Amino acid sequence: MIAPDDAVRLLPRDEMADVLVDDHAEDFFIGGVVDRDDKALVLYRGTLEPLLVPLDWFKAKPRRPQPDFDALALTDSGNTVQLGEYEAGADAILYEFDPEARRRMREREIRKDTTFGGSLRRLRLQKGLSRSDFAPLSSKTIARIERGDVEVPRGETLDAIARRLGVPPSEISSY
C-alpha cells in the first residue's frame, strides 16, 4: 500500500487523480521512496505497481546537478522524477527498466511516424507481411525504406511494393 509518511513522496493530489484515471497510467509515477538499504529508488506507477531503479543509475553529467536522494519529488503529472535539482524523465526510466514500456513506446513511435517508411511499415504489418515478402526487393531494401534512409522509392521499386501490398502506389502514404 502506498501511503505518505516521512519517506514516501507522492505526486500532488490533483495531478495524481488525473494519472490514476489515465488510459496509460502505467507510464506515469505517482509516488516514490528511496530505499538506501537496497540502494534503490522505488517508484510507484499510476497502476500502483512498484518499479525498482538502482540509485547508481542516476548519474549527473559534468557541470550538471548531482542527484540529491534526500529531496525526492514527483512533478509534471508523473512525468518527472526530481532529486533536488537533478531531473529524470519517466520515459527514460521506464525505457531502461521496463521491457513492456519500451515496446509501448516503440509502438507509439511507429504510429506517429508520418514518413513514407512509417506508412509502409504500418501497412506491411497490417497485412501480416515480413520484409522478406517483397521479392525481387531484398529485406534490406525494405528496411532502409522503413528507416527513412530512402525517402520515397520510385519506379519499379515503388511498383513492386504497391503490388505486394495490394494498394495503388499513391495510397501507401495514407496508412
Q: What is the 3-state secondary structure (H, E, C) of 51-93?
A: EEEEHHHCCCCCCCCCCCCCCEEEEHHHCEEEECCEEEEHHHH
In a domain, 3, yes or no: no
Q: Could you tell me if 98 and 117 lie in one domain?
A: no
Tell me, what's the pLDDT at 98?
Answer: 96
Q: Which domain holds residue 149?
A: 113-174
In a domain, 2, yes or no: no
Q: Could you tell me if 15 and 87 lie in one domain?
A: yes
Residue-wise pLDDT tens digits, 130-172: 999 999 999 999 999 999 898 889 999 999 999 999 999 999 9
Q: Could you tell me if 95 and 163 lie in one domain?
A: no
Residue 35 burial by Cβ neighbours in a 10 Å radius (0-12, 13-18, 19+): middle
Q: Could you tell me if 36 and 96 lie in one domain?
A: yes
Residue 51: strand pairing partners: 43
In a domain, 43, yes or no: yes
Residue 155 burial by Cβ neighbours in a 10 Å radius (0-12, 13-18, 19+): exposed
Residue-wise pLDDT tens digits, 25-64: 999 999 999 999 999 999 999 999 999 999 999 988 888 8
In a domain, 108, yes or no: no
Q: Could you tell me if 23 and 66 lie in one domain?
A: yes
Cell numbers representing residue 30 in the block: 505517482
Tell me, what's the pLDDT at 4?
Answer: 53
Q: Could you tell me if 15 and 88 lie in one domain?
A: yes
d(CA 106, CA 109): 5
User: Which residue's entry shows cell 537496497?
Assistant: 38
Last residue of a domain, one of 73, 102, 131: 102
Tell me, what's the pLDDT at 175?
Answer: 87
- Percentage with pLDDT > 90 across the chain: 79
**Kind and range of the H or E run holding 32:** strand 29-35
Q: Could you tell me if 148 and 80 lie in one domain?
A: no
Q: Could you tell me if 26 and 54 lie in one domain?
A: yes
Does this model's pTM top 0.75?
Answer: no
